[in-house]
Structure 1
Amino acid sequence: MSNGFYKNRRLKSFLFLAVCLLVSTIPHIFQYKYFLFFTITISFLVACYGLNVISKNIKRSVSSQSNEKIISNDKLPALDILVAARDEENVIERLVERLFDLDYPINKLNIYIIDDGSSDKTPLILERLSKEFDKLKIITRSANAGGGKSGALNYALKFTHGEWLLILDADAQLKNDTLPRLFRFVYAGSWSAVQLRKSVINVSKNFLTTCQSMEMAMDAIFQYGRLSVAGVSELRGNGQLINKEVLLKCGSFNEDTVTDDLDLSLRLLLSKSKIGILWDPPVMEEAVENISALFSQRQRWAEGGLQRFFDYGEQLFSKKIELIQKFDLTFFFILQYALPIISLVDLILSIALTESPSYWPISITAFTLSGIAVWYGSSCKSEGPVLQNLNLMMMLVSLVYLSHWFLVIPWVTIKMSLFPKKILWKKTLHTGV
């Protein structure tokens, strides 16, 4: 991607920031008499759509696959599992051993580990494992090959031969029967891609990992609901199954974004390729265990999330997608990216001018919807690690935790608007819990 494209992103980010600042300051400058009525009306509309999205999960049955037809081994497709690994000495051996324990015809399964310029013991471990597992394929890239995870996956694509690709992170853990159940779901729904629900394996490690587990449950509730209401859903990087032909038609993985999964999700939507959300079985992964790692990870997610809208915004408002999909994308874009900036600036101005905040009804509504999704997602029956003591206090704590987005989003938007940016892929450290 050209430097001009980067500048275009920077300009769009600046304009987005400017609009958010303008919206934040208008009520404090003009003090409209009926502004509170306006924000309450908007909050009511936000609540209606948000509750509609959440309510779609009521119809979701954890045992829905029990009535699906069992697929015989000879009808299962050829599958390639791809793992981009850089400095994963703590988890790579466990991953490989578990992948070869999965229930799937061995003649239809290929496992590719991309050693993406590791400087730790990962290459030595992989060399030893390749002697133990004949079907294990090691692909090596140099540390300066470029493109990050996307570059590693694109490089590996030319070695693959399967009809489907399963993308995993090095810390992923799957149940042994995941793959047959996954393809039963694929065939039942005619999906072009499927995202497994993400579940935190180290949920009880500390306060942060517990909150991240609740956050992932909330995300899955919104994901499933959005898919049911508007046909909009997103990939989450780890545990994403993609039809290879569909992926190639969409242009493979974008090496000019820091979140290849979010970028690909929009391109799949624009190409009218359906992404299914499978609640169970989940893909289990490690949550980060300290504040520094959390904010580093969230900044990358926020930046990638904004990049995709800046890159494909014009196409999203074309005739390529349905009206309800445009509404859904706009709704969640405002709540996820605009509201944190508007609310923070509104709060700062309120304190400085000793006035009441103007947008508090919308913020409270958004937090309430998040709380309902946290409660429902964390308490409903599911496979994988679950929270043991979900109560009102834990829900309130989770909402306080979620408020970190009201700092991350404004900070990332300012950086994207004001400072020249090179694409940097920062990996998450996996400890091997």
Structure 2
Amino acid sequence: MLSLALGLLYFSVLAGLSAYGLHRLHLVFLCWHNRSRIASAQEVTALTDHDLPPVTIQLPLFNESTVTARLLDAVATMDYPADKLEIQVLDDSTDETQALARAKVVELRGRGVDAVYLHRVDRVGYKAGALDAGLKVAKGDLVAVFDADFIPQPSFLRSIVGHFEDPRVAMVQTRWGHLNRDTSILTKVQAQMLDGHHLVENRARFGAGFLFNFSGTGGIWRSEAIRKAGGWQHDTLTEDLDLSYRAQLAGYRFVYREDVVSPSELPEDISALRAQQYRWAKGTVQTARKLMGTILRADLSLSQRIEAFFHLTPHFAYPLLVLLSVLLMPALVLFPAADTMTMLAIDLPLCIATTGSLAAFYMLAEAAQGRPRLGALVRLPMLIALGTGLAPHLCKAVLEGCRQMAGEFVRTPKHGDNKGRYKVRTDLPLVETLLALISFTAVVASIETGHYVATPFAVLFTFGYGYVAVLVAQEQTARRREVATSGEVWDGTRVSETTGPTWTGPAEERPYTDAAA
């Protein structure tokens, strides 16, 4: 009876992972099948200066002193009529970023740039709250959003505002570039993962007419669409995903432009990456809880609903992955390799669910950039290992997302020109270490039982858990030593719950009472 229960659980986990793997293959097919429609998005009418709509660029900041000046300098070079462009610096900072941003705004205004500085002395709603506060006083019919680690290109606005000549278009998302792609194997793998999202997922969903999302930055919205969709809401940690679905369910269309690239910075520390992925995973689960019922009842095709389900639930693959790594060793012992059919039933789905779909997925992402497909294959083992190593931490995010809405928005540290200025707190990786040891026993078991096809995957599980455990332990040990000797403040500290934004700009344009005065 125990053997039967274990076998059923093991094969159920494999079935779940295989479903997500087959979905990845389906996205690859959609990119190929709809390649003409995807390419046609680049055909947009260029508008004259007279016909260009007024635009507000919103720059949400929180303790971003290492990249603030770089961001504002880049935005100030935007190729757009000065009388139709407003720059809003939405600063919730509690550190020296305030002074840097204020001074930069004053400098830009002296150069004739319509820049305003809005500071909130609380973080109610976090990024969503800041964007909402800025939207209430924004001058533009369109609103572009850039996070602090981005470097907007001068041609960004002119390249895409023409899409809004269609009143049904609510948002245009551009592709993220990676400034520090080649810094380390960690950044190379992250770049490949994000390229997969932008150059396979976004292209496939746009091309097939499915719902897809604003990525939180590097995109531009129609202000009216935000308001009609219910505005920025902060009951999830992925306010961008939440608003995206609400806007499309309200009847608006989204456009994806793979040819317009917005360069950005990748986390260079494993702790920062884990914090970022944790927020994305928890927020996506929260958004699924909030909207899945509405999506299933909406006037959508069956294929649109199925795709929305896979779009909003990918992080449930992490608990399945952890469970698989725990079950692998007893399953290898339970099912002898001498039975060829049994061996195939165990090993083949595992192969399909990982290397097969992932290889096709990321090879397409590389090819879409004109890069050699072989590069994706070379980095694939490391990508699988990193995903495995992150899985235990993201399992916790999934569980928290299932139990509670909202939560603290912990920003991802940006290095800019001052590496090491901000770090993220995290616990020592005890769970990852334990799972590395369990996976190592699966390596031994696969060899002893003759399940040689499973051996590479058991090795990847072992390496993935061990790699992340070692990196996190090294970073946190070094960080604790730094704090003990220098007295630096940890990133992500809470601020007091006071109220009222403050305004720096022309007195006649002040939309709020200055609570700091």
- In structure 1, the gaps of 5 or more residues are 1-24
Which amino acid is the alignment partner of residue 276 of structure 2? Q
Partner secondary structure for residue 72 of structure 1: coil
TM-score w.r.t. length of structure 1: 0.82
Partners of 1:150 and 1:381 lie apart in 2 by: 32
Moved more, 206-215 or 297-306: 206-215
Percent identity for Structure 1 against Structure 2: 20
Q: Judging changes above 3 Å, is the alpha-carbon distance between structure 1 residues 355 and 75 closer, same or farther for their aligned structure 2 residues?
A: farther
Partners of 2:300 and 2:389 lie apart in 1 by: 32
TM-score w.r.t. length of structure 2: 0.70
Deviation of 1:42 (Å) = 5.8
Partners of 1:45 and 1:202 lie apart in 2 by: 31
The residue aligned with 1:252 is 231
Q: Which has the higher contact order (CA 8 A, sep 6+)?
A: 1
Deviation of 1:55 (Å) = 2.2
Deviation of 1:161 (Å) = 1.9
The C-alpha deviation readout for 1:109-161, integer Å capped at 9, x for no partner, is 00000111x2222121122222221211001110x341100111111112112
The residue aligned with 1:375 is 363
Which amino acid is the alignment partner of residue 249 of structure 1? K
The residue aligned with 2:498 is none
* Contact 1:39-1:361 at 8 Å conserved across structures: no
Partners of 2:40 and 2:306 lie apart in 1 by: 31
Q: How does 1:135-150 map to 2 (within 5 A)?
A: 135-142=114-121, 144-150=122-128
Partners of 1:54 and 1:359 lie apart in 2 by: 30
Moved more, 296-305 or 204-213: 204-213
Q: How does 1:167-178 map to 2 (within 5 A)?
A: 167-178=145-156
Aligned match for 1:191, one of 157, 161, 169:
169
* Contact 1:40-1:361 at 8 Å conserved across structures: no
Q: Judging changes above 3 Å, is the alpha-carbon distance between structure 1 residues 402 and 415 closer, same or farther for their aligned structure 2 residues?
A: same
Deviation of 1:106 (Å) = 0.8
Deviation of 1:254 (Å) = 1.1
Q: Judging changes above 3 Å, is the alpha-carbon distance between structure 1 residues 77 and 341 closer, same or farther for their aligned structure 2 residues?
A: same
Which amino acid is the alignment partner of residue 293 of structure 1? A
The residue aligned with 2:76 is 100
Which amino acid is the alignment partner of residue 146 of structure 1? V
The C-alpha deviation readout for 1:355-385, integer Å capped at 9, x for no partner, is 3697765554343323222222123337xxx
Deviation of 1:332 (Å) = 3.9
Deviation of 1:180 (Å) = 0.5
* Contact 1:198-1:284 at 8 Å conserved across structures: yes
The residue aligned with 1:83 is 59
Partners of 2:373 and 2:195 lie apart in 1 by: 14
Q: How does 1:50-61 map to 2 (within 5 A)?
A: 50-56=27-33, 58-59=35-36
Partner secondary structure for residue 76 of structure 1: coil
Deviation of 1:51 (Å) = 3.4
CA RMSD of the aligned region, Å? 3.3
The C-alpha deviation readout for 1:163-206, integer Å capped at 9, x for no partner, is 11101101111221111011134447952111111121111111
The residue aligned with 2:382 is 397
Aligned match for 1:127, one of 97, 102, 106:
102
The C-alpha deviation readout for 1:397-426, integer Å capped at 9, x for no partner, is 3333333454344222234456x6761010
Moved more, 157-166 or 364-373: 364-373
Which amino acid is the alignment partner of residue 178 of structure 1? F
The residue aligned with 1:14 is none
Partners of 1:64 and 1:422 lie apart in 2 by: 35
Partner secondary structure for residue 192 of structure 1: strand
Q: Judging changes above 3 Å, is the alpha-carbon distance between structure 1 residues 54 and 175 closer, same or farther for their aligned structure 2 residues?
A: same
